[in-house]
Structure 1
Amino acid sequence: MTRRTTVLVLVGVLAAAALCTSLSSVPSGQIQARQQAVLSGLSEHAKADFDFTPPLQTAGRHIVDADGKRFKLASINWYGASDVHFVPGGLDKRHRTELAATIRQMVFNSVRFPYSDQMVIDNPIIPPEVIAANLDLLDDLKPNASSRADGEPTGPRALDVYAACVKAMTDAGIAVIPNNHITNAHWCDGKNLCDASWKNSQYGSLCKVRQTTETWIEHWKTIMEPHIDNPLVIGADLRNEPRGIWGTMTWNMWATASEKVSEALLAMQPNWLMFVEGVSSANDVSGARTRPVKLSIPDRVVYSSHVYQWSGWSTLVPYHSRPYPSFAMDMERNWGYLLRGNIAPVWLGEFGSPSNGDERDHHYWDNLMQYMRESDVDWGYWALNPRKPEQYDNETYGLLKDDWKTPVEDWRYKDLMKLSAPLS
């Protein structure tokens, strides 16, 4: 290494250290003051959307609070902890407290918050560059500095960052629903059978990250344990889009596993809601008609479905090509019957469309908006993020611009706001 190279490397190291020092030294009081300024500027209508008395439970087709008043979930998905960097997106751009304030300012009263089982298993130390706007998390390590061996890497671990983001959201009055999104940390691994369901032990050594039903339950307990006494962590979305090789994933198999993990979680905190997605990638909740999920504590089950324009496999005609009567019939068969019959709440936990949508995207979207208005279903839009983590690809479904601050106020956002208030 030449003297010039050595100097350049040293300058780079010092610059990086100065950046880290300056970011981590921002007083937390200033950050919280900025959050409070945003929250105090909310309209009275927006504040009303967050006004509920925990704990929540179900009453027929509705989620209701401790006073018996309906709490309609108007949620946003904030992803990243389930992905390759093991942290929620945007923490390199803005402080988690400010992100929570932005979510609330956008009038989302709840967040679906994905994680991966690999995140729980590995729980890696998070490098500063992916949490560059949240280096105050390093301060939590200072009291334990003397217990670390010389040369041991320093930094918060993935579970610490996840829990800190949950706290930031609930401190802002936002309800949070952790979601077991995927086994192997990845943005989407839809073709990988090892990620198709809550367990993959049946595939043996084919799976890089192996999991049984028992380890899946233990991971859930690890995720939820820090939030037992946080009333705004309202429940658990048990598994994202369970599926299997054609014909091998029955509703009964999934319902039985859901009951098992739910009982373990309710033993920790009996007030949590259990969100049970449909099979066939969460599309189909029709099995609950004859085989409902039953728990030892009543009024805790919320069913969940996902609806995208490419869905609709039951008749091999995707929803982007369905006339409204056909589309509505599928919604009724898959999950609408639960609402119409006042049987159980349904949360449309994922749906979305690109900002530059074509004719097919708009056809699907218009049909879905009509059915959601008519059914008054609870919902969660995919997604907040403007970018996908792995190669930082553009997230065309995202509702924030690259600054992680400015909403993309297009036709999607405007339609969502019309859905946020429950029907009288």
Structure 2
Amino acid sequence: MDDYLFSGVTHTASTDALFKVYEGILGRFPDEAGFKFWSNQLSNGSSLTDIVGAFTKAAEFNNYAVTNKQFVDHLYDTALQRNPDVSGETYWISNLETGKLTKLQVAVTFIQSSEFNSKFQKYDSSAQSYGSGSSTAFSTSGSNIIDSSGTSVNLDSANWFGAEGTAQLPQGLYNRGYEGMLDAIQAQKFDTVRLPFSQDTLTSTSKVIKTYDANGNYTGLSLNGSYINPWADRGENAGLEGLTPLQIMDEIVQYADKIGLKIVLDHHRMTAGDGGTENGLWYIPGSSTYTVQSWQDNWEMLAARYAGNKSVIGADLQNEPYQGTWGDGGTNDWAAAATQMGNLIHVKNPNWLIFVEGTQTYNGQSYFWGGNLMGVQSHPITLNIPNKVVYSPHDYGPSVANQSWFSASNYPDNLPAIYDQYWGYIYKNNIAPIWVGEMGGAITTNGQTTQAEATGTQQYLSEITTYMKTGGTMTALPTGKSPMSWAIFAWNNINTDVQGIMNSDWTTINTPLYNYLKFS
């Protein structure tokens, strides 16, 4: 392997086997502190059997493996990565019920099996890097995103926000299990999730804890005061107990990998909080905590952490750097910062796509935060590894910001020319692909949206989705081109100046909004 998941740990057969045990018994990526602790235990004479025994006795394991049947089914799911066959399940449960075998003996048998070792061979030292699967290296070819075989790939995406907020947790887990949520996203034909986070999400030591009522009755789980329902869907949230926000991200990534859902990680802001970036930059001037260096260090950590994972396909370097300049060489030259960051990421993980948002103003012309990519014409992002840059403008309807073009006499017919000017030309001129990383608005009235704004947003959504689907022609997709990729904001239940795909029950969908989307 080129890179270990954690710094300061050397590849050995024992540490490779330890990584397999984490995946096979606990069903998750190891946390750094735990992995290093058990690596030291191995060095000091403990056996893998000792560690398997400790894992099967841990509260994390026993939260979802209480009965013998649950224990056996969990091992089939995590160690063999399949549903149990009837005869095998019956055999193991019977031997546990009669006392012929202990749980430790059953668990050790599973991880010593040839089936287990064939499934987890990718973690041996001969493999390329750690992760939950062989890497998927997407690249670019002109205006298209392509896979390793050269086949065009579209990213029909949804933003699932919350981990960047004060709870440091994707929203909705008070109603749904995280696996159930990802299943639902995929069931609605989305193939990619844009997953926002903050620097605080990555560095937080807060952990998911149990909660109790005044009478001492167990009521569920909580992270930073935000309730997590441990019984929702298949009860998978129960397994989040004791995890930090970063470890929860690991669980989401792992399950996305399992079901074939792609993820683009989005550095949304520095501090944990609601909304976009605090100041339109990728650092906080004068802070010793939220620095350019910390921004770079965090991305390098994530690139190494998920190297080799099939689901995480790239890095959205910074959400809406609207105070940045483009190509002027100054302190806040976003193009220069993005170029440096992309190259640093590729040292750790050469497979990732690098998603670069725009600024707000270029040469005196202003657009939506993150939407102005006019500077690419004269100062494109050029990385050491070619064909990895995807430009990612943000674009919204009049319910979000009533731009002058929304009140023009020829609205909405004027929108294609506006898109061409600020970001569409990149796609049309085959400079690079476009992924509209945020788009949307409110299509019905509410406390923040008037009827005129709602109607205008309906027209906007019809226009922009047609523009992206047809490659900007508004008629037919040009030969050899794939549609532009996009990410609706948001999947979440939200009803402000933007509205989400989820209704308040986090189960049914907002059909009128959903019907505007044009999937590839």
Residue in structure 2 matching 1:221, options 292, 300, 318? 300
| Contact 2:406–2:412 (Cα < 8 Å) also in 1 | no
Aligned to 1:4: none
Corresponding residue pairs, total: 352
Pairing of 1:1-400 with structure 2 (within 5 A): 27=70, 29=73, 54-127=136-209, 128-129=221-222, 130-133=227-230, 155-189=242-276, 192-193=278-279, 196-201=280-285, 204=286, 210-244=289-323, 249-252=325-328, 253-280=333-360, 281-310=369-398, 317-319=404-406, 323-356=411-444, 358-375=454-471, 376-387=483-494, 397-400=499-502
| Contact 1:138–1:156 (Cα < 8 Å) also in 2 | no
SS at match of 1:234: strand
* Structure 1 residues 24 and 334: alpha-carbon distance in aligned structure 2, compared to 1, 3 A threshold: farther
SS at match of 2:153: coil
Q: CA deviation at 1:100?
A: 1.3
Q: CA deviation at 1:413?
A: 1.1
Q: CA deviation at 1:189?
A: 5.0
| Contact 1:312–1:319 (Cα < 8 Å) also in 2 | no
SS at match of 2:442: coil
| Contact 2:162–2:169 (Cα < 8 Å) also in 1 | yes
Q: What one-letter code is carried by the residue in structure 1 that aligns with 2:321?
A: P
Aligned to 1:40: none
Q: CA deviation at 1:395?
A: 8.6
Aligned to 1:413: 514
SS at match of 1:118: helix
Which structure exhibits the higher relative contact order, with contacts defined as CA atoms closer than 8 Å and separated by 6 or more residues?
Answer: 1
- 5+ residue gaps, structure 2, are 1-61, 84-134, 210-220, 361-368, 446-453, 472-482
In structure 2, what is the Cα distance between the partners aligned to 1:110 and 1:374?
20
Q: CA deviation at 1:119?
A: 1.6
| Contact 1:355–1:397 (Cα < 8 Å) also in 2 | yes
| Contact 2:199–2:269 (Cα < 8 Å) also in 1 | yes
* Structure 1 residues 290 and 400: alpha-carbon distance in aligned structure 2, compared to 1, 3 A threshold: same
- Structure 2 length as normaliser, TM-score? 0.62
Q: CA deviation at 1:214?
A: 1.1
| Contact 1:117–1:216 (Cα < 8 Å) also in 2 | yes
SS at match of 2:312: coil
| Contact 2:354–2:388 (Cα < 8 Å) also in 1 | yes
In structure 1, what is the Cα distance between the partners aligned to 2:139 and 2:400?
31
String of CA shifts for 1:300-348, please: whole Å, max 9, x gaps.
00000011124999x9505365623432211001111111111110001
Aligned to 2:9: none
Aligned to 1:9: none
String of CA shifts for 1:222-274, please: whole Å, max 9, x gaps.
33332112022111010000012xxx633551111111111111111111100
In structure 1, what is the Cα distance between the partners aligned to 2:155 and 2:467?
16
Q: What one-letter code is carried by the residue in structure 2 that aligns with 1:250?
A: W
Q: CA deviation at 1:22?
A: 7.8
In structure 2, what is the Cα distance between the partners aligned to 1:239 and 1:111?
16
SS at match of 2:440: coil
In structure 2, what is the Cα distance between the partners aligned to 1:55 and 1:137?
31
- Structure 1 length as normaliser, TM-score? 0.75
| Contact 1:76–1:112 (Cα < 8 Å) also in 2 | yes
Q: What one-letter code is carried by the residue in structure 2 that aligns with 1:185?
A: A
Q: What one-letter code is carried by the residue in structure 2 that aligns with 1:420?
A: F
SS at match of 1:99: helix
* Structure 1 residues 368 and 269: alpha-carbon distance in aligned structure 2, compared to 1, 3 A threshold: same
SS at match of 1:307: strand
In structure 2, what is the Cα distance between the partners aligned to 1:123 and 1:368?
41
Give the structure with the higher percent helix. 1
In structure 1, what is the Cα distance between the partners aligned to 2:256 and 2:355?
20
Identity, % of aligned positions? 26
In structure 1, what is the Cα distance between the partners aligned to 2:350 and 2:64?
40
Aligned to 1:15: none
- 5+ residue gaps, structure 1, are 1-20, 38-52, 141-153, 388-392
* Structure 1 residues 78 and 264: alpha-carbon distance in aligned structure 2, compared to 1, 3 A threshold: same
Larger Rg: 2
CA RMSD of aligned residues (A): 3.1
| Contact 1:120–1:222 (Cα < 8 Å) also in 2 | no
Q: CA deviation at 1:210?
A: 4.1
* Structure 1 residues 215 and 100: alpha-carbon distance in aligned structure 2, compared to 1, 3 A threshold: same
In structure 2, what is the Cα distance between the partners aligned to 1:356 and 1:266?
43
In structure 2, what is the Cα distance between the partners aligned to 1:157 and 1:119?
9
String of CA shifts for 1:33-86, please: whole Å, max 9, x gaps.
9xx99xxxxxxxxxxxxxxx9321100000011111110110010111001100
In structure 2, what is the Cα distance between the partners aligned to 1:226 and 1:164?
13
In structure 1, what is the Cα distance between the partners aligned to 2:334 and 2:244?
31
Q: CA deviation at 1:137?
A: 6.4
String of CA shifts for 1:269-316, please: whole Å, max 9, x gaps.
111100000111111111111100011111100000011124999x95
